[in-house]
Amino acid sequence: MSVADEKTVVRDYFNSTGFDRWRRIYGNGQVNKVQLDIRQGHQKTVDQVIDWLTADNNLPGLTICDAGCGVGSLSIPLAEAGAVVYGSDISEKMVEEAYERAKNLPGVIQKLTFTAQDLATLQGRYHTVICLDVLIHYPQDQIAEMISHLCSLAESRLILSFAPKTLALSLLKKVGELFPGPSKTTRAYQHREEDIVKIFSDNGFRVQRQAMIGTRFYYSRLIEATRS
Ligand code: SAM
């Protein structure tokens, strides 16, 4: 499938069934067991990023681009901590929901800008660029261009998460594909860490901090890379 076709599939999904599914997963209402596990795993990823950024002690006023921000699970707490956050997402419905979640939080909405935009069309420079759980929607041959573009927007660092490709996980995915069910996601792509690190280094970035977040159904490798 071409890059354009891949993006159309992803955007249409997150404007329809994917919107309903992920809005609930990234919320606090009742969900099924698998979705609850994914919610908790994803929250750990968000918490880890916030821990890293808080530890640096310079969040107030820091410009952050949250590419593929979804319903604002990370953008909103970062704005609450004082950062100036530019959240964007290829799905209009996801950013509309992010705005709804933020609009009545005192002092927060002024620090947030939400736009519906493919990350490939983002422009400008931000101290920090973050892209969580987005690469999972794209095959290996498309991610180098995406990551390189994100690097070009980052003055200082890029924080990415992806589903790591390991034998066990590949098997798990194979097994998972045999059981289509109500909580099925879009096709999920895993990526090799060495490939991601190579793309960073080709763009002049070096890995600084990393974490592995895993629950039963959620696996995410989180990497912070800075300009070397
Ligand atoms: N980053 C958010 C988080 O961690 O809460 C959302 C993660 S969700 C699994 C993936 C999001 O990526 C969806 O909201 C989807 O619309 C968005 N997305 C997928 N492809 C994108 C692209 N090319 N540009 C911008 N957003 C994209």
The 10s digit of each residue's pLDDT in 19-31 is 999 999 999 999 9
DSSP state of 191: B
Ligand 1, residues 89, 93, 133, 218: which to mutate, most atoms within 8 A of Cβ?
89
Among residues 80, 52, 72, 176, the alpha carbon closest in space to that of 115 is found at 72
| Domains identified in the chain, total number | 1
Q: Is 76 near ligand 1, meaning CB less than 6 Å away?
A: no
Per-residue confidence band for 57, with pLDDT thresholds at 50, 70 and 90: very high
Q: Give the pLDDT confidence of 116-149 residue by residue, as tens digits.
A: 999 999 999 999 999 999 999 999 999 999 999 9
Structural domain span for residue 100: 3-227
pLDDT of 62 higher than 50: yes
Question: Is pLDDT at 176 greater than 50 in this prediction?
Answer: yes
- CA–CA separation, 152 and 157 (whole Å): 10
CB distance 94 to 14 below 8 Å:
yes
Return the ligand 1 atom nearest residue 14 CA: 16
What pTM does this model have? 0.94
Q: Is the CB of 72 inside a 6 Å radius of any atom of ligand 1?
A: no
pLDDT grade for 188, boundaries at 50, 70 and 90: confident
Read off the amino acid at residue 108. V
Cβ of residue 159 lying under 6 Å from some atom of ligand 1 = no
Whether the CB-CB separation of 213 and 219 falls below 8 Å is answered with yes
- Tell me the CATH number at 167: 3.40.50.150
Ligand 1 pocket, 90 CB below 6 A? yes
ipTM of predicted complex: 0.99
| 73 Cβ closer than 6 Å to some ligand 1 atom | yes
Q: What is the pLDDT of residue 183?
A: 46
Check if 93 has its Cβ closer than 6 Å to any atom of ligand 1.
no
Of 57-66, 94-103, 182-191, the poorest mean pLDDT is in 182-191
